[in-house]
Amino acid sequence: MSAVPQALADLKVLEFGGYAAGPHIGKVLANYGARTIHVESRERPDGFRIQYPPFKDNRPGYNRSGCFAFFNDSKYSVTVDLKKREGIALAHRMAQWCDLIIENMRAGVMERLGLGFATLAELNPRLIMLSTCNMGQTGPRADQPGFGSQLSALAGLCGLTGMPDGPPMLLYGPYIDYIASIFGASAAMAAVIRSRRSGKGALIDLSQYESGLMFMGAALHDFFATGHLAERCGNDDPDAVPHGAHQCSDGEWVALSCWSEEEFGALVQLIGHPELVRDPRFATAASRRSNANALDALVSAWTAGRSAEAVAESLQVVGLAAYPVVTMAGLFRDPQLFARGQFRVRRHPEMGDHAYCFPGFDLTEAPGDIIGPAPCVGADNAFVFRDLIGLSEDEYEAYRQSGVFD
Amino acid sequence: MLLPDVLIVDATDRLGWLAGRLLADLGAEVIKIEARGSDRSSSQWRACNVNKRVLELDPEGAAEHQRLDELIHAADICLLTPGSSALSPRLDPAVLRKDYPRLVVVGITPFGREGPRSHWKGTDLEIMAAGGAMALAGEPGGMPVRVSEPQSYGWAGAQAAAGALIALYRRDATGKGDLVEVSGQACVVTALSHAPAFVDLNGIEPTRAGAFITGRSIKGARYRVFWPCRDGYINFIFYGGVAGRRTNAQLVAWMRERGAELGVLADIDWKSWDPTKADQAEVDAIEAPVARFLSGISKREFLIEGHRREMLGYPVSTVADIASDPQLEVRGFFQSVAGSRERFCGSFAVIDGERPALRHAPGEPGAFAPPRRRAGGPG
């Protein structure tokens, strides 16, 4: 890690909730130095700790989940029983300590717990609270629970994935939650910047559904403007042809696209068919689109004799966009991702060495990092409550004996 | 507005358009730099460049370059997609960082600024392939596919906006700008969720599962995700946990009320049923009666009943379904700029109970006064 203090070294963040959409915001901020505390309880730990594989060595356990690890590296974990009056009192103390609260419970739950924004803002007028849930805090379906893996379908993303004559396709995991969470990181930072400049707090209502629609903005604009109904079309593109994935000699696939006459000329030269630029089937972009299957067959015949890496490299040399379709194992071998340090191994007390994923951006002069592994449940109770929140020994012991934490 | 005093110069191409849009939604004044006569008619351009103002430049015009320099001098953030326009030599990230020490410069490229493939060309298709997303979408063993609506530009722009504000926060505290480097490929990787963790932890390689979901059972069972219904498809998954148990029980109750054949569903105790321990035969037996039931349900019926019963699951929407969704209407999500009927996704976040209005129509020229230079400003 750089000797330069990280960009968010003085930012204090508290998270209530679990799974993906809330914790991923905190993870991103933690990677740039924010002190981020993930609040759980022994009775109800983050669902990602126990409900979904992968688990280290395929053995489930609170501290063995790769799913939880993905969303929670570089944070502290505390356990607070929010069903106890004393637990709420401790949460109020924590709210006075922090700059930002991120919560992704169902709409209204924080208020019912006594942790609504109005209550906490009285204790900390500079407080930012970001509330993120499926539908947002208002509206006729505000109370609808949901997971991102399904919300991606409601937002139209799954319906636009797959072949025209086949079913919709799943986007892996809670895809839409990552859109909302990276939007949430921006909204939270904007509010924190204003808070530091003006002393004003803010309540941010972030709908994961609406966030996902921002990635559908063009299709929606087109529908409003023309009535055109976007449909899934495999890998086709309205401008580029060829534009698709082709299997190679090593069984891997390569993605490539051709955006101009010049690029098409370079492609057919490379694949050994320079005469195709004069072939009436392929002489113009329109004719190439009409004969796309025949053209794809010619390209596939060429890629079938070479590895995906070799195909991509040779296409790039002649000025075409191309890249192997990187598999999950391939992510760890990809030279470009390796050079960026995309995956960074940190040692977890129970999982051992594990590769954590870094965000897609970095600050050149104050770089971020995977500060540490995902925390074991409640591992930081003593440090957080005593050293960060500032409980006295008597207060700490009183909370512990009341069963707020162990 | 959260960023009322923040001025942003946006000289990006499609890879970075969304960054400026998101920052404008948060209240920043975003000036989009466009070559004189550029095409701004597409839905792609208009959806991502609404809420910005435009400064037209002639790449050969010296006076206009001076205008650009003055603008950058006053700016807090400059968004760039290096190498993408005729103005690029003047908008080199490293040069701007050197010339404007307080400026946050954001450079967005397909594969990053450094590394052996930093110079490679990539469009949405190749970036989605390079980031692993295509390896996970499509039929098992079949051709990998991308989302037909380009996504990688969104991922790059969204992460660029977050990076810009993290750097601006530091700038406020230290007086020092920064160069935020954004890789489209790496941005897509972060959207793969925990899929790479299967490789790292257990040596298992997630891949395309078609209309099914894998990785939920330690016995390798796959669960159906997309179910044909009366007018399209429904996304429904048998989950575990508190919410999953409620959903599963409610679905069976709904089926029972409708007199649907329940098969093995009739005897399952959802409180103890654990999807992580089910094998394929068990999953197949559970799913068969559900497939028959859902085939007679409409998308809107599922949406309404699912909400009423607090079930997990949603219909697979078309843009027409989305455009008429009452939830979005009540929240005022779709917006027009005052005086226009052109409709857009509105500002993405509701701040203190209000959704910030869209202020500038796409392509609205900036009638600039000489840029105001804030006290302690750049340079």
Taking the CB of residue B306, how many other CB atoms lie within 10 A of it? 26
Rg (CA), chain A: 25
Given CB atoms, is B111 within the 8 Å cutoff of chain A?
yes
pLDDT tens by residue, B17-59: 999 999 999 999 999 999 888 999 999 999 999 999 999 888 7
Q: Which two tokens stand for residue A277?
A: 């630029």
CB of B2 closer than 8 Å to CB of B27: yes
Give start and end residues of each alpha helix (H) in chain B: 17-25, 43-49, 62-74, 93-99, 124-130, 152-174, 184-189, 195-202, 241-257, 280-294, 299-308, 319-323, 326-330
Q: Is the pLDDT score of B375 beyond 60?
A: no
Low-confidence ranges of chain A (pLDDT < 70): 1-3
- Beta-ladder partners of A79: A40
pLDDT tens by residue, B283-293: 999 999 999 99
Given CB atoms, is B95 within the 8 Å cutoff of chain A?
no
Task: Work out the minimum CA distance from B373 to partner chain A, whole angstroms.
Answer: 17
* Element housing A208 (H / E): helix A208-214
- What per-residue confidence (pLDDT) applies to B86? 62
pLDDT tens by residue, A88-101: 999 999 999 999 99
Residues of A with Cβ-Cβ distance to B375 under 8 angstroms: none
Contact A190 B3 (CB under 8 A): yes
User: How far is C-alpha A391 from the chain's CA centre?
Assistant: 34
Residues of chain B with CATH 3.30.1540: 211-316
Q: Is the pLDDT score of B269 beyond 80?
A: yes
Contact B200 A166 (CB under 8 A): no
CA end-to-end span of chain B: 26
Given CB atoms, is B262 within the 8 Å cutoff of chain A?
no
B7-190+328-345 domain in CATH 3.10.129.10? no
- What per-residue confidence (pLDDT) applies to A391? 97
- Non-local CB neighbours of B111 within 8 Å, separated by 6+ positions: A336, B117, B118, B120, B122, B127, B130, B183, B184, B185
Residues of A with Cβ-Cβ distance to B81 under 8 angstroms: none
Q: Mean pLDDT across chain B, nearest whole number?
A: 92
Query: Angle at the Cα of B306 (from B317 to A216), degrees rounded to 5?
Result: 20
Q: CB contacts < 8 Å between A and B, how many?
A: 534
For each of the domains in chain A, give its residue range(s) and CATH number, in order of start.
12-215+341-401 (3.40.50.10540), 243-326 (3.30.1540.10)
**Helix crossing, B152-174 with A175-198: angle to 10°?**
20
- What per-residue confidence (pLDDT) applies to B283? 94
Residues of A with Cβ-Cβ distance to B151 under 8 angstroms: 157, 215
CATH class of segment(s) B211-316: alpha beta
Helix (H, G, I), strand (E, B) or coil at B89: helix
The rounded distance, in Å, linking the Cα atoms of B221 and B238 is 12
Peptide bond into A54 cis (omega under 30): yes
Contact B211 A170 (CB under 8 A): yes
B198 closest CB neighbour out of A66, A204, A351: A66
Query: Angle at the Cα of A400 (from A398 to A401), degrees rounded to 5?
Result: 65
The one-character DSSP state at B317 is -
> What is the interface pTM, i.e. ipTM, of the complex?
0.97
pLDDT tens by residue, A113-158: 999 999 999 999 999 999 999 999 999 999 998 889 899 999 999 9
